Amino acid sequence: MLTTASGLEKEVSRLHEEQTINSSKSEIAVTLKNCSLSFGDVNVLNNVSIDIYKNEFVSILGPSGCGKSTLLRLMLDLLQPNAGGEIVYPSKELSLGMVFQKPVLMPWLTAIQNISLPLTIGEKKFSKKEIKEKAESSLRLVGLQDFMNHFPHQLSGGMQQRIAIARALAADPTVLLMDEPFGALDEFTREKLNFELLRLWESPETSLSTVVMVTHSIQESVLLSNRVIMMSPRPAGVEDIISVPLPSPREIGMDELPAFHQTVNALRKRVKHL
């Protein structure tokens, strides 16, 4: 028993090293350089610099109201950093997807119409037929093909959030930004959707390569991500970046591995320290 456990740990630390080496080699998906942001006199973000790589799942972890969501909004170009800050997406084929804490579905549109919405506004790159195909395939990805013509009020909270994820996936994003996407859901649904999300990220059917998820759950961040970016309270800065030494693909039950607990405990200590 003991030997297996330590064997596993060796394996885990080997993977850990591999991942670190990999990430130093791989291409950057997005870079934040010296990003500060203030609303009037209030400093929300203080000199944040982060590199996020392709094929990486990154969590941004921090206490409520520390500016995690603001960071995502900078990355979405909904907010601009103060002078001197910069956000760079090196890739030319960039497409961003966004999932909010609330599903933010239009109650007057059916599931499939909600999913099509991003494709029917803005640049309108697709024909009607393509939009239909894309929307239907992303509805299948989240397993709700039987609810195509249902309205949001006819769906449960978990289903609504799945529709929101499908809507983000329909536009073929390479980078998916999520703001506490499962924060409003119950524990059971949340756990289920966490793994569904991982499956979608790993799936070759989606164009998805990078996921950046804001969360305030330490467990969730460790279980899902390759790296956890820990934020300090307001004005938020990067407190620490921790690589998660868990093997991929992540599977149910990995939250029982010693490496999981060690990482969770390490993060928890940092939280207390703040």
Partner 1 sequence: MRTKIKDAMYPVVFAIAFLVLWELVVRLFDIPLYLLPSPTGILSVMDSSLWSHMMVTLLEALAGFVLANVLGLITAVIFVHSKPIEKGVFPLAIALKTTPLVALAPLLVVWMGTGYSSKVVASMLICFFPILVNSVKGLKAIEHEAWELFSTYKGTKSEIFWKLRLPASLPYVFSALKISTSLAIVGAIVGEFVGANKGLGYVVLVSSYHMDTPVMFSAIIASALCGLVLFWAISLLERRIIFWQRTDDL
Query: In the chain, how many H helices and how many E strands?
Result: 8, 9
Q: Which is nearer to partner 1, 19 or 160 (CB)?
A: 160
CB of 109 to partner 1, least distance (A): 9
- The reply on whether position 184 binds partner 1 by CB under 8 A is no
Q: Which is nearer to partner 1, 100 or 260 (CB)?
A: 100
Q: Provide the 3-class DSSP secondary structure of residue 178.
A: strand
- The reply on whether position 104 binds partner 1 by CB under 8 A is yes
- The reply on whether position 74 binds partner 1 by CB under 8 A is no
Q: Rounded to whole angstroms, how far apart are CA atoms 178 and 181?
A: 6
- The reply on whether position 102 binds partner 1 by CB under 8 A is yes
Peptide bond into 118 cis (omega under 30): no
CB of 178 to partner 1, least distance (A): 13
**Exposed e or buried b for every residue in 41-75, given b needs 16+ CB within 10 A?**
eebbbbbbebbbbbbbbbbbbbeeebbbbbbbbbb
Q: Which is nearer to partner 1, 162 or 250 (CB)?
A: 162
Q: Which is nearer to partner 1, 129 or 153 (CB)?
A: 153
Q: Which residues bind partner 1 (CB under 8 A)?
A: 73, 76, 78, 96, 98, 100, 102, 104, 106-108, 117-118, 121-123, 151-153, 171
